[in-house]
Structure 1
């Protein structure tokens, strides 16, 4: 019997990740970027800590960070990764913005997945939100 975790993983692998690549993103495992030589333009898929095999909640985060600023941050915080993670907060240097802030109404938005969720319908909703709201934000350079 499939679980919500199975449905989420299948949607991510079969539909969401390929759809993000068609929109110009590179990456995998919930962390993607639009390549830019000077700025990190990142998108992350963040599962809720309260997710379980029967119910998965997740949201989409976006982050724009100047690469020179990130190098300064790394010089001060040696454990910082080579590339910022769009699902992590980096104090004064940067924090992600949730896609809900970009959607009409500006309310935080989490998708919910159960064992009955259609992976295709789920992916369609995510990709529509990314294409309509996250992508213009990331390409526009607002931070």
Structure 2
């Protein structure tokens, strides 16, 4: 019998990660970026802290941050990463956006995985949401239907 962790690992390795790469992302281990010379366009897979070996919940976070702003912000942090993590908030410099806010209805969305979850169906659902909502958000500079006009 497979654990939820094993099911998620298969979904990531065989479906989600290759699918994100086909969409233009680079990265692995749940942290991806759409390459851009001036802006970080990031996607992260965040597991819920309430996950267990029999049940895992996870969501997708997206973040857009000007690279020069990030470089300036890093100066005050001794251990700040070279690239921001889309699963962390960085005060006024950067806040991730959960994919649920981009989905119709704008409600928080978490996928649930257990030992009976189909890795193929899970990967297909995650990739469909990423392609339809996360990628347009990241490529469009963070503009959504709910964003105020400039």
Q: Same fold (TM over 0.5)?
A: yes
The corresponding residue for 1:69 is 69
Q: CA deviation at 1:64?
A: 0.1
Q: Deviations over 1:69-122 (max 9, x none)?
A: 000110122221000001011011111000000000000000000100000000
The corresponding residue for 1:111 is 111
Q: CA deviation at 1:142?
A: 2.1
CA distance in 2, matches of 1:41, 1:78: 23
The corresponding residue for 1:45 is 45
The corresponding residue for 1:133 is 133
CA distance in 1, matches of 2:94, 2:24: 23
**Structure 2, unaligned runs of 5 or more:** 144-150
CA distance in 1, matches of 2:142, 2:61: 14
The corresponding residue for 1:83 is 83
The corresponding residue for 1:25 is 25
The corresponding residue for 1:3 is 3
Q: TM-score, normalised by structure 1?
A: 0.98
Q: CA deviation at 1:12?
A: 0.5
Aligned structure 1 segments of 4 or more residues deviating by more than 2 angstroms: none
